[in-house]
Chain A
Amino acid sequence: EAQVTQNPRYLITVTGKKLTVTCSQNMNHEYMSWYRQDPGLGLRQIYYSMNVEVTDKGDVPEGYKVSRKEKRNFPLILESPSPNQTSLYFCASSYLGQSTGELFFGEGSRLTVL
């Protein structure tokens, strides 16, 4: 089954404790990206990757890191989480090129930073 898998789905942590949200896709997509969803703000892009070892900032990259060492994986790293990073996070992937470029989303990760 084609899917984007992200873990954990739910996490409560404390300020400053490093955490990683993993994301994996099995569709051989070149493009992967991370979003955060906050009430009244919609989804905002954090980072994206056009291919292995190619990453770039989205609209809200502060406080986050990513890496793309393998095509299928795109983890999101919070080195020192703060309460303003409490949010719902989505990983997504898509083809590039001639396709219509729809995003395939993971199921979301609800993060609470105390």
Chain B
Amino acid sequence: AQTVTQSQPEMSVQEAETVTLSCTYDTSESDYYLFWYKQPPSRQMILVIRQEAYKQQNATENRFSVNFQKAAKSFSLKISDSQLGDAAMYFCAYRTFTGNQFYFGTGTSLTVIP
């Protein structure tokens, strides 16, 4: 089974600064999907950004971008111009190419300091 590792249980960032959350994964597949989800205190799971493994270009969504290193099996999330509303738990997730199974990391709790 694939594993997803988030080695930073907690991170903090000053408002308006940039922070990078780390994620590594283990797989023998060549094609797959990667995601970052945000879980605010409301518990709702919100998609932040997605990346298809066959695409070399790193995904970007407004202030959120990823650094996808396929050979290194690394998928980090960069949040620029951090805002108070970015404070949440962030989960990295892997989806198999066949689409049947998802694997989540243990999460990184992000605090934004005013």
Candidates A31, A44, A90; contact of B45 at CB < 8 Å: A90
Is B95 in contact with chain A by the CB < 8 A criterion?
A: yes
Which B residues are CB-close (under 8 A) to A88? 43
Contact call B1/A101, Cβ cutoff below 8 A: no
Count of residues in A whose CB is under 8 Å from the partner chain: 27
Contact call B47/A42, Cβ cutoff below 8 A: no
Q: How many A-B residue pairs have CB under 8 A?
A: 58
Which A residues are CB-close (under 8 A) to B45? 90, 92, 103, 105, 108
Q: How far is the CB of B77 from chain A (nearest CB, A)?
A: 15
B interface, how many residues as a size bin?
A: 20 to 34
Contact call A45/B101, Cβ cutoff below 8 A: yes
Best-buried of B43, B44, B50, B105 by chain A (most CB within 10 Å) = B43
Q: How far is the CB of A5 from chain B (nearest CB, A)?
A: 13
Candidates B47, B95, B101, B106; contact of A40 at CB < 8 Å: B106
A92 and B4 CA atoms in complex are apart in Å by: 19
Candidates A43, A44, A50, A92; contact of B100 at CB < 8 Å: A50
Is A11 in contact with chain B by the CB < 8 A criterion?
A: no
Chain B 1-45 near chain A by CB (<8 Å), digits 1 or 0: 100101001000000000000000000000001010000000111
Contact call A42/B102, Cβ cutoff below 8 A: no
Is A33 in contact with chain B by the CB < 8 A criterion?
A: yes
New A-B contacts (20) at CB < 8 Å, excluding given A45-B101, A45-B103, A97-B99: A31-B99, A31-B100, A35-B104, A42-B91, A42-B106, A43-B102, A43-B104, A45-B102, A50-B99, A58-B101, A59-B1, A88-B43, A100-B33, A100-B52, A102-B35, A102-B47, A105-B44, A105-B45, A107-B44, A108-B43
Q: Which residues of B contact A (CB under 8 A)?
A: 1, 4, 6, 9, 33, 35, 43-45, 47, 50, 52, 91, 93, 95, 99-107
By Cβ-Cβ distance, the 6 closest A-B pairs, closest first, are A105-B45, A43-B104, A42-B106, A42-B104, A108-B43, A96-B99
Q: Which residues of A contact B (CB under 8 A)?
A: 31, 33, 35, 40-45, 48, 50, 56, 58-59, 88, 90, 92, 94, 96-97, 100-103, 105, 107-108
